[in-house]
């Protein structure tokens, strides 16, 4: 097998340049395979970079990649705009060309630009040299000669933090760690300040951060290989896999749905006989994992440092021979990609989506921030072998991201599993129906305020419900209870957030109906948990759970459990109130429909074991796993 840190299997000498000098790129659009790692590749980042050019060297793989990008942009230059999804627009091509010229120091009059243009020209064949030079003649003009819109864009992609990433030395362990942390900090800063610049400028800055991250990855791979490193033979998939899941935490308050999915998948994979490791940013001793799961925390945890920075530290303590890596969203997706690229270049990489950030952030007036987070997840999707999300909403988003990738990954819809518990017995209906909402009540899109408004309207229209909301923070419990009771015009029982399974079951067991009037909900695991126990849930038709019901269950079941509501739109309070009045008029019938739905869940084997098996089966064969980029 190939030792850890190697750049790939042995390849024949470049037929276009057997002596190892600068060679023309072939006319078929392919890029010659990079030479084996040399001092030029690992020590000198590139000839194509801003600043003076020293003695010309052999083209590095980074140089070749950048020249290929120039060639690709030249081929798209002046093409008509296509209407199909994922099509690149003329404006996008221009912005990409402007950014590339700026980053490579090719602007006319810039120090060293003439020598770098000569490097580019000599690397291109006659048939493509002309189109590339036409692009450079346009977007590579002196700054003063560019249109105002171009100058504004270039000003927006100047970011001191991003530029500094390429100036940081990478010679010692301390320097590598400092640059790795700086990558996280700069990426976070670019994302948080997305509202200050054009969307395209933010995307170019994020791509530039990833380019800097690639420098660290390659340096670490070379370094670890030099001392033996982590054994990473060419990936051979056996029945028993060695799987590494990466997430901020194993469990705990406020960790969200990604931790639940991560935890359940890890346990299911272990039950199936796989060797399962979970990298977390907290001390592993904080939790007791299920049998077959090994938690790996930082060697020395620093509570003053955010867990995200501690996910990819201490790489040498990671296990040998991992063949599958799973990361979650941008929470741990970058760390998962980094670990794969540095330690296990032949491992399959699975990227999990958990939220439609563009829609979620736009609801809160932060459209540019949502677009930036969405772009990062599209970037992580492009590096993965499989992209997955729970339910049809996130699977559709995964497909959208995959369409923008040069080499689209497999798109997989994961149906979350559930433990089908003993059928709940309908609580006695001695007064008004007990209606329950469970979720983080401080979230703007979980529907706590709307639930209180619904309760008021139900009363005003001659009905009546007892409303319980579970998910308040302990420090805001009394204030939340008073505020929501005022909105509802009646006493509302507000309970603190709990991740305790017994407490959750007790809340569910005491209710007649679970409602989730969310403005946006990628899936809605709580609704699925309720139905698996026979408690009737009610959710918007456009959420992941709502679509799951409509697409997979008979209409006589789904019509009582879904409410017509626009995706990410306002909660239609009147429609919710009317439907609650209708279904609670015959609670026994509602519970019979829930029992029928529960039986379908049982018969269809919607379990975490099945979900884990289907996910593993989605991975491409070993020979088709994509290799990480080489700088």
Query: Under the phi-then-psi rule, with left for phi > 0, alpha for psi from -120 to 50, and beta for the rest, what region is 498?
Result: beta
Domain boundary among 140, 156, 172: 156
CB atoms under 10 Å from CB of 307, counted, come to 20
The C-alpha angle 363, 367, 370, rounded to 5 degrees, equals 95
- pLDDT for residue 268: 95
Query: What is the rounded average pLDDT of the residues 497-523?
Result: 90
Please indicate, yes or no, whether residues 266 and 390 belong to a single structural domain of this protein.
Answer: yes
pLDDT per residue over 211-256, tens digit each?
A: 899 989 988 887 776 433 444 444 444 468 999 999 999 987 666 7
| CATH number of the domain within which 598 lies | 3.40.50.2000
Please indicate, yes or no, whether residues 489 and 395 belong to a single structural domain of this protein.
Answer: no
103-117, 235-249, 489-503: segment of lowest average pLDDT: 235-249
pTM of the model: 0.81
Please indicate, yes or no, whether residues 290 and 253 belong to a single structural domain of this protein.
Answer: yes
- pLDDT for residue 39: 34
- Of 584 and 86, more confident: 584
Please indicate, yes or no, whether residues 396 and 514 belong to a single structural domain of this protein.
Answer: no
Please indicate, yes or no, whether residues 344 and 444 belong to a single structural domain of this protein.
Answer: no
pLDDT per residue over 438-456, tens digit each?
A: 988 887 778 999 999 999 9
Domain boundary among 156, 188, 217: 156
- pLDDT for residue 88: 55
- pLDDT for residue 498: 86
- pLDDT for residue 251: 85
- Of 26 and 471, more confident: 471
Q: Residue 492's domain spans which residues?
A: 434-606
Domain boundary among 156, 188, 219: 156
Question: Beta strands 242-246 and 275-279: pairing type?
Answer: parallel
pLDDT per residue over 60-77, tens digit each?
A: 777 888 888 899 899 888
Residue 587 lies in a domain: yes
Please indicate, yes or no, whether residues 97 and 50 belong to a single structural domain of this protein.
Answer: yes
pLDDT per residue over 334-352, tens digit each?
A: 999 999 999 999 999 999 9
Please indicate, yes or no, whether residues 600 and 620 belong to a single structural domain of this protein.
Answer: no
Q: CB–CB of 515/466 below 8 Å? A: no
Please indicate, yes or no, whether residues 576 and 457 belong to a single structural domain of this protein.
Answer: yes
Residue 537 lies in a domain: yes
Residue 180 lies in a domain: no
- pLDDT for residue 576: 97
CA distance 158 to 209: 12
End-to-end CA distance of the chain: 22
Residue 128 lies in a domain: yes
**8-state DSSP, 160:** H
CB atoms under 10 Å from CB of 42, counted, come to 19
């Amino acid at each position: 097998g190939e030792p850890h840190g190697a750049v790939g299997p042995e390849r024949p000498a470049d037929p276009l340049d057997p002596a190892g000098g600068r060679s023309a790129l072939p006319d078929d659009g392919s890029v010659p395979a990079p030479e084996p790692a040399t001092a030029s590749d690992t020590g000198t980042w590139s000839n194509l970079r801003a600043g003076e050019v020293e003695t010309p060297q052999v083209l590095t793989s980074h140089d070749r990649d950048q020249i290929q990008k120039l060639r690709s942009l030249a081929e798209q230059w002046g093409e008509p705009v296509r209407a199909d999804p994922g099509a690149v627009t003329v404006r996008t091509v221009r912005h990409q060309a402007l950014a590339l010229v700026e980053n490579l120091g090719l602007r006319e009059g810039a120090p060293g630009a003439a020598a770098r243009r000569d490097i580019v020209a000599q690397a291109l064949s006659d048939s493509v040299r002309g189109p590339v030079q036409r692009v450079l003649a346009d977007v590579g003009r002196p700054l003063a000669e560019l249109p105002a819109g171009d100058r504004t864009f270039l000003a927006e992609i100047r970011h001191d933090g991003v530029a500094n990433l390429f100036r940081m030395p990478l010679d010692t362990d301390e320097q590598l760690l400092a640059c790795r942390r700086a990558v996280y900090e700069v990426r976070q800063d670019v994302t948080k300040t997305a509202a200050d610049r054009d969307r395209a400028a933010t995307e170019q800055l994020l791509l530039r951060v990833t380019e800097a991250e690639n420098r660290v990855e390659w340096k670490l791979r070379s370094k670890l290989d030099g001392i033996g490193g982590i054994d990473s033979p060419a990936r051979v998939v056996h029945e028993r896999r060695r799987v590494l899941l990466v997430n901020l935490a194993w469990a705990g308050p406020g960790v969200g749905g990604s931790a639940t999915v991560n935890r359940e998948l890890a346990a299911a994979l272990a039950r199936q006989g796989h060797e399962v490791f979970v990298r977390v940013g907290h001390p592993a001793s904080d939790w007791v994992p299920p049998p077959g799961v090994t938690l790996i925390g930082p060697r020395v945890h620093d509570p003053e440092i955010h867990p995200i920075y501690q996910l990819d530290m201490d790489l040498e303590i990671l296990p040998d021979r991992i063949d599958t890596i799973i990361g979650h969203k941008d929470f741990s997706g970058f760390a998962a990609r980094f670990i794969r690229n540095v330690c296990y270049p032949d491992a399959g990489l699975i990227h999990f989506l958990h939220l439609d950030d563009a829609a979620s952030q736009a609801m809160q007036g932060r459209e540019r921030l949502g677009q930036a987070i969405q772009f990062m997840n599209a970037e992580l999707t492009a590096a993965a072998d499989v992209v997955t999300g729970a339910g049809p909403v996130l699977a559709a988003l995964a497909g959208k991201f995959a369409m923008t990738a040069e080499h689209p990954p497999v798109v997989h819809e994961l149906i979350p599993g559930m433990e089908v518990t003993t059928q709940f017995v309908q609580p006695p209906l001695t007064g008004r129906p007990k209606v329950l909402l469970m979720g983080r009540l401080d979230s703007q899109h979980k529907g706590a305020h709307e639930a209180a408004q619904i309760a008021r309207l139900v009363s005003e229209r001659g009905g009546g419900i007892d409303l319980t909301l579970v998910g308040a923070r302990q420090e805001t419990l009394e204030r939340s209870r008073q505020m929501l009771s005022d909105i509802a015009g009646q006493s509302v029982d507000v309970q603190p957030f709990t991740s305790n399974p017994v407490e959750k079951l007790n809340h569910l067991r005491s209710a007649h109906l679970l409602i989730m009037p969310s403005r946006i909900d990628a899936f809605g695991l709580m609704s699925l948990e309720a139905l698996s126990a026979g408690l009737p849930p009610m959710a918007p038709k456009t959420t992941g759970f709502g679509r799951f019901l409509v697409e997979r269950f008979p209409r006589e079941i789904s019509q009582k459990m879904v409410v017509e509501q626009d995706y990410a739109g306002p909660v239609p309070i009147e429609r919710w109130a009317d439907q609650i009045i209708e279904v609670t008029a015959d609670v026994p019938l509602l519970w019979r429909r829930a029992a029928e739905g529960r039986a379908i869940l049982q018969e269809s084997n919607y379990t975490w074991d099945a979900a884990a098996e289907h996910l593993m089966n989605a991975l491409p064969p070993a020979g088709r796993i994509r290799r990480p980029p080489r700088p």
